[in-house]
């Protein structure tokens, strides 16, 4: 065992001292696939007009000395293409329900300005609008997910937006699209019918929203062979009544219902806790709150099963992630926060939950892509850094559109201050080439774990892997030390008959490929 500890993937273990002895063990049984596919759209991202997410994020000053296409930063595009983001949600969020799409088309110098009342009270110049967003999606090779304005908009406004983007015939709106530089339709498929209609999107009751949804949805037309996937505003967290009412009253013309849940370190919206320099108590509480996603997905899915036993309606978790206090000295309305190994552990755990609920969860969006909340990328003028969470999405991209392999787990607890959490979570899949991928998370802050999995009758002969870990869960990447937390090769997995044995360091994320 001492020789095993010398491998590259677990060098960080030495910094943890004697407490990281492999004193605990976890077991898993991995079954055969039953044809269920992990939708690639679970790995979607979110870009709202909020803080430095769009402006000074994706869309920069024309004079900034970075490689650009128009004003889109191409180093960011390249980084996101590497992790194969499948869809990008826009323009919000709360911003969507005060956004009027006609303000963001045409000659940029002639576009009207507006006040972003939700996020910092700043002036929005509308230089980044519909065409700019869709050109960004083209650069990213990703599908657009547009959220329509139900809160302050009209049925006609959303109906016209759909026609403007998707109609491949002669009409005033398709002519306008051609005049603005795009004769062919964009064929946008994913459409959100409002956002958080129980709150910033209109303070509606679920009964009222269900009626509004049906009214908006019937006028959002399919054009040609492009069939819209309409997504209803769903609940926040444990608002099970909202799901019940919407599923009961909206009988057709619905592709998905959205769920929003943010992991707050403290659980208190007034003081969410810092992104850095936190204690183990704060770490434990953050993971405890993050693991509630399993409860929410399970219970909302059970309600959906009552009205949709064939699981035709998707559960769309289109806002999720860790939300801390904003970084000191920044505009609190911009929601800029650092990103630590703790956040990566929450992200990996959440993605394992989504994968294992692939029968119902078909799309999800991390909040948010750049410079906002649990971002993948942070920027500082011409510099960018990839956060620990970015590296999680890099590790997990192997699950996209792969067949889910069911798992039974027997794992030890991570104990702190008399409280317990399951220390290990896992998801597994088999891709089109027959390769098996496992993503394994050990959230225990102090103890390494000996993990063994029975692969049954699966055929494989070699294993390779990567690991994301550090000396402490507070570790971050900075503009002076951008590679403090990064992926490295993992060599502490070995074949034992048809079982696999893995030495999991404390607070680590491991991805394995068996072929």
The catalytic residues are: 196, 319
- Please give the backbone phi and psi of residue 484, each rounded to the nearest 5 degrees, phi first: -60, -45
Of 426, 362, 372, 435, the C-alpha closest to 398 is 435
Please tell me the distance from the alpha carbon of residue 348 to that of residue 399, in angstroms, as a whole number: 12
Please tell me the distance from the alpha carbon of residue 449 to that of residue 412, in angstroms, as a whole number: 9
Angle between helices 155-166 and 172-179 (to 10 degrees): 60
Contacts of 297 (CB under 8 A, 6+ apart): 259, 315, 317, 353, 354, 357, 360, 361
DSSP letter for each residue of 272-323: ---SSS--HHHHHHHHHHHTHHHHHHHHHHHHHHHH-TT--SEEEEEEEEE-
Burial class (CB in 10 A: 0-12, 13-18, 19+), 496: exposed
Contact 430, 402 (CB under 8 A): yes
- Please give the backbone phi and psi of residue 415, each rounded to the nearest 5 degrees, phi first: -110, 135
- Please give the backbone phi and psi of residue 476, each rounded to the nearest 5 degrees, phi first: -135, 165
Contact 401, 382 (CB under 8 A): no
């Amino acid at each position: 065992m001492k020789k095993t500890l010398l491998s590259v993937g677990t060098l960080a273990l030495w910094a943890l001292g004697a407490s990281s002895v492999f004193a605990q063990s976890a077991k898993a049984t991995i079954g055969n696939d039953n044809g269920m596919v992990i939708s690639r759209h679970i790995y979607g991202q979110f870009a709202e007009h909020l803080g430095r997410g769009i402006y000074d994020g994706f869309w920069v000053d024309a004079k900034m000395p970075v490689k650009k296409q128009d004003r889109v930063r191409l180093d960011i595009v390249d980084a996101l293409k590497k992790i194969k983001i499948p869809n990008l949600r826009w323009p919000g969020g709360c911003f969507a329900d005060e956004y009027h799409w006609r303000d963001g088309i045409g000659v940029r110098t002639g576009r009207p300005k507006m006040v972003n009342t939700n996020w910092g009270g700043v002036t929005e110049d509308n230089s980044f609008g519909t065409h700019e967003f869709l050109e960004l999606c083209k650069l990213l090779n990703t599908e657009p997910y547009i959220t329509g304005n139900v809160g302050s908009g009209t049925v006609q406004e959303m109906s016209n937006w759909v026609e403007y983007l998707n109609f491949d015939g002669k009409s005033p709106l398709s002519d306008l699209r051609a005049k603005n530089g795009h004769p062919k339709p964009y064929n946008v498929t994913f459409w959100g019918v409002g956002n958080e209609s129980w709150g910033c999107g209109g303070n509606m009751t679920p009964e009222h929203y269900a009626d509004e949804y049906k009214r908006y949805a019937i006028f959002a037309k399919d054009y040609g062979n492009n069939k819209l996937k309409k997504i209803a505003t769903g609940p926040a967290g444990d608002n099970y009544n909202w799901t019940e009412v919407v599923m009961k009253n909206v009988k057709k013309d619905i592709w998905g219902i959205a769920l929003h849940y943010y992991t707050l370190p403290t659980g208190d919206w007034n003081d969410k806790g810092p992104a850095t320099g936190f204690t183990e108590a704060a770490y434990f509480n953050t993971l405890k709150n993050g693991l509630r996603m399993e409860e929410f997905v399970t219970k909302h899915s059970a309600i959906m099963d009552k009205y949709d036993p064939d699981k035709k309606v998707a559960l769309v978790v289109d806002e999720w992630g860790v939300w801390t206090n904003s970084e000191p000295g920044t505009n609190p309305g911009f929601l800029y926060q650092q990103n630590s190994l703790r956040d990566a552990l929450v992200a990996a755990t959440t993605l394992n939950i989504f994968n294992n609920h692939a029968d119902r969860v078909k799309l999800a969006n991390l909040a948010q892509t750049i410079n906002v909340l649990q971002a993948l990328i942070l920027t500082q003028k011409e510099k960018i850094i990839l956060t620990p969470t970015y590296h999680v999405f890099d590790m997990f991209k192997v699950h996209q559109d792969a067949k889910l392999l069911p798992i039974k787990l027997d794992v030890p607890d991570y104990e702190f201050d008399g409280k317990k959490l399951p220390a290990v979570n896992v998801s597994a899949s088999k891709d089109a080439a027959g390769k098996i991928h496992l993503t394994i998370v050990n959230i225990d802050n102090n103890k390494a774990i000996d993990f063994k999995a029975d692969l049954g009758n699966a055929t494989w002969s070699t294993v390779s892997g990567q690991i994301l870990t550090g000396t402490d869960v507070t570790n971050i990447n900075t503009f002076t030390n951008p590679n403090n937390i990064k992926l490295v090769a993992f060599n502490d997995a070995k074949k034992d008959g048809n079982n696999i044995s893995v030495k999991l360091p404390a607070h680590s994320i491991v991805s394995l490929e068996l072929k």
